[in-house]
């Protein structure tokens, strides 16, 4: 610290009068270096997570179909869609330090994936790690881990638990075996225990979700100021031009 302070004093003596130093003391310089080191470490950790997801699920983050989905190109045609958009925006703004999860439920083609992807895309811009993945893809990866020396079921669960926001798609689309319920339970349990939120996309209603996943999982999905948004309007896929993506 003494050497840094002396160096700062010498620099100030030889520095032209019209140039203002970015740091006035050695403490300020060291604090800045520490901050930059933490930023670089966080960036490296995010890159490592993305690489792990790429190796495990053959992709990272968001599928190409939804990589351009945003709040701006989400079509609002009724009050329900306006409300869903507002809640999605609010969710992003309140994400930091918030354990709140979300469930988007409703008929196919009503924009659940678009808004979930818009949330994830915005969080990516803010330096967060995200993953949208179907139940089928999770189970496929779990089954591939059986007898696999390179990656185990435990490692998969750990990776899925560490991403800042995990969105599980197509809840209720499978036969939902006991094993699937156990895996989803473990994922949600680990994430909530580490204060990381989970998103779910489903065609099922609240009663069906309670029967499907059980009260324990659903109770954890309600922690904090969690969202349950019902997409109860008609499908608009026939009106999609492709520019939305």
Query: Does 55 fall in a domain?
Result: no
Asked whether the predicted pLDDT for residue 119 surpasses 60, the reply is yes
Q: Do 222 and 101 belong together in one domain?
A: yes
- Phi-psi category of residue 176: left, alpha or beta, with phi > 0 → left and psi -120 to 50 → alpha: left
Is residue 142 within 8 Å of residue 153, measured between CB atoms? yes
The whole domain housing 19 covers 2-40
Q: Check residue 7 and give its pLDDT.
A: 60
Q: Do 89 and 168 belong together in one domain?
A: yes
Supply 158's token pair.
């750990």
Predicted confidence band of residue 65 (pLDDT cuts 50, 70, 90): confident
Q: Do 104 and 153 belong together in one domain?
A: yes
Q: Do 151 and 204 belong together in one domain?
A: yes
Supply 55's token pair.
């190796």
Query: Does 56 fall in a domain?
Result: no
Please write the tens of the pLDDT for every residue from 31-61: 766 777 766 665 566 566 555 555 555 555 7
Q: Do 30 and 100 belong together in one domain?
A: no
Q: Check residue 178 and give its pLDDT.
A: 85
Asked whether the predicted pLDDT for residue 115 surpasses 90, the reply is yes
Predicted confidence band of residue 13 (pLDDT cuts 50, 70, 90): low
Q: Do 100 and 150 belong together in one domain?
A: yes
Query: Does 54 fall in a domain?
Result: no
Q: Do 19 and 118 belong together in one domain?
A: no
Asked whether the predicted pLDDT for residue 113 surpasses 90, the reply is yes
Please write the tens of the pLDDT for every residue from 94-110: 999 899 999 999 999 89
Q: Do 15 and 102 belong together in one domain?
A: no
Asked whether the predicted pLDDT for residue 67 surpasses 80, the reply is yes
Residues facing 2 on adjacent strands? none
* CATH code at position 85: 3.40.50.300
Query: What is Dmax (Cα atoms) for the chain?
Result: 75
Q: Check residue 83 and give its pLDDT.
A: 96
Q: Check residue 55 and give its pLDDT.
A: 54
Q: Do 86 and 32 belong together in one domain?
A: no
Query: Does 68 fall in a domain?
Result: yes
Among 42-46, 181-185, 207-211, 224-228, the range scoring the smallest mean pLDDT is 42-46
* Predicted model pTM: 0.75
**Over the chain, what is the mean pLDDT?**
82
Q: Do 89 and 195 belong together in one domain?
A: yes
Q: Check residue 228 and give its pLDDT.
A: 95
Q: Check residue 146 and give its pLDDT.
A: 83
Query: Does 180 fall in a domain?
Result: yes
Domain count, the chain: 2
- Phi-psi category of residue 75: left, alpha or beta, with phi > 0 → left and psi -120 to 50 → alpha: beta
Cβ count within 10 A of residue 103: 23
Q: Do 114 and 235 belong together in one domain?
A: yes
Start-end of H helices in the chain: 2-14, 26-57, 79-93, 112-125, 135-144, 153-162, 178-193, 206-213, 215-221
Q: Do 232 and 181 belong together in one domain?
A: yes
Asked whether the predicted pLDDT for residue 23 surpasses 90, the reply is no
Asked whether the predicted pLDDT for residue 114 surpasses 90, the reply is yes
Please write the tens of the pLDDT for every residue from 132-191: 999 999 998 888 888 777 778 898 899 899 999 999 999 988 766 888 889 999 999 999
Query: Does 86 fall in a domain?
Result: yes
């Amino acid at each position: 610290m003494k050497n840094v302070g002396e160096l700062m004093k010498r620099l100030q003596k030889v520095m032209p009068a019209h140039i203002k130093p970015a740091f006035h003391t050695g403490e300020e310089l060291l604090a800045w270096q520490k901050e930059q080191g933490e930023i670089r470490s966080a960036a490296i950790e995010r890159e490592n997570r993305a690489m792990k997801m790429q190796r495990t699920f053959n992709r990272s983050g968001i599928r190409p179909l939804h990589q351009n989905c945003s709040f701006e190109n989400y079509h609002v045609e009724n009050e329900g869609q306006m409300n869903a958009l507002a809640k999605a925006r609010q969710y992003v703004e309140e994400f930091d330090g918030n354990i709140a999860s979300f469930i988007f439920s409703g008929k196919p083609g009503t924009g659940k994936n678009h808004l979930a992807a818009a949330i994830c895309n915005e969080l990516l811009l803010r330096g967060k790690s995200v993953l949208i993945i179907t139940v089928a893809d999770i189970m496929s990866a779990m089954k591939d881990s059986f007898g696999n020396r390179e990656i185990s079921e435990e490692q998969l669960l750990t990776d899925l638990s560490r991403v800042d926001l995990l969105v599980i798609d197509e809840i209720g689309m499978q036969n939902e075996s006991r094993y699937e319920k156990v895996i989803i339970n473990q994922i949600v349990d680990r994430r909530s225990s580490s204060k990381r939120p989970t998103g779910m996309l489903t065609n099922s209603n609240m009663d069906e979700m309670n029967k499907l996943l059980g009260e324990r999982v659903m109770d954890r999905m309600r922690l904090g100021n969690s969202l349950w948004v019902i997409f109860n309007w008609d499908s608009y896929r026939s009106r999609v031009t492709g520019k939305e993506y």
